[in-house]
Amino acid sequence: MPGTSIVEDIELIIEDIGGGGGKNPPPGGDDGDEGGKRRGPQVPSSRRYATAIVVAIVSIVMFFMAMASAFLYTRANSNRWVPLHLPSVIWFNTAVLLLSSGAMELSRRRLSLGEVRQFRKLWFAATALGFLFLAGQLVAWRQFILAGFYVSTNQASSFFYIFTGLHGLHLLGGICALLYVSFRKFEKAKVSRTVAAEVTSYYWHFMDGLWIFLLALLYLGK
């Protein structure tokens, strides 16, 4: 059995073959796992989390695209389309969500500088703004109901509730991730705080962009 027992030998060859997947992250990288004691077989690389969130985002995009295409199709072909008047609080909510994204970016910058206390404060601000957005969306529903628009009132109102509702549900998942980053003790976790914050931020900014898209759809397509 040539080769299998001489580990250094194999590693030399691998460097030359230019190994494919399973590349370890560069030494001194950002993954907490790379610390000496867990260096057993196959150290879980942090890259999988970033890959997973990108793939998941693609899937969520398809989910909302199906709904957006249904919206556009119904809008173009229905003869009983009633235009929609968006509740005014929705513009305030949009500003809140954008601020939340900004706070998160500032917070990550603090983390990369090693200022964990500042990071925590800003991260908390981003989380609070996320909650504020959700509360604002509920107020928007309330305003909409007071104006006499229910889910079943007309096609446009059905789309309004399903878009805001499903976006809110996805955003709630994002808030859970934000809280995870805030409260998890990362000394014991499989993933480092930097990676968790980065992956969460991808999703959070995506939620931001998705909301702008849905809002533009509802506003321009009314």
Report, in angstroms and rounded to the nearest whole number, the Rg of the chain calculated over CA atoms. Answer: 23
Of the two residues 15 and 187, which places its CB atom closer to other proteins in the complex? 15
Q: How far is the CB of 121 from other proteins (least distance, A)?
A: 31
146 binds other proteins (CB under 8 A): no
DSSP annotation string for 139-207: HHHHHHHHTT--TTT-HHHHHHHHHHHHHHHHHHHHHHHHHHHHH--TTTSSS-HHHHHHHHHHHHHHH
Return the closest-CA partner of residue 211 out of 143, 176, 177, 165.
165
According to DSSP, residue 100 is labeled H
Q: How far is the CB of 126 from other proteins (least distance, A)?
A: 25
Touching other proteins, residues 40-79 (CB under 8 A) = 40-42, 45, 47-48, 51-52, 55-56, 58-60, 62-64, 66-67, 69-70, 73-74, 77-79
**For tokens 């997973």, what's the residue?**
52
Return the closest-CA partner of residue 164 out of 59, 58, 71.
71
Sole window of 20-28, 110-118, 121-129, 140-148 interacting with other proteins (rule: CB under 8 A): 20-28
Q: How far is the CB of 56 from other proteins (least distance, A)?
A: 6
For other proteins, the binding residues (CB under 8 A) are 1-5, 7, 10, 12-22, 40-42, 45, 47-48, 51-52, 55-56, 58-60, 62-64, 66-67, 69-70, 73-74, 77-79, 151-152, 154-155, 158-159, 161-162, 166
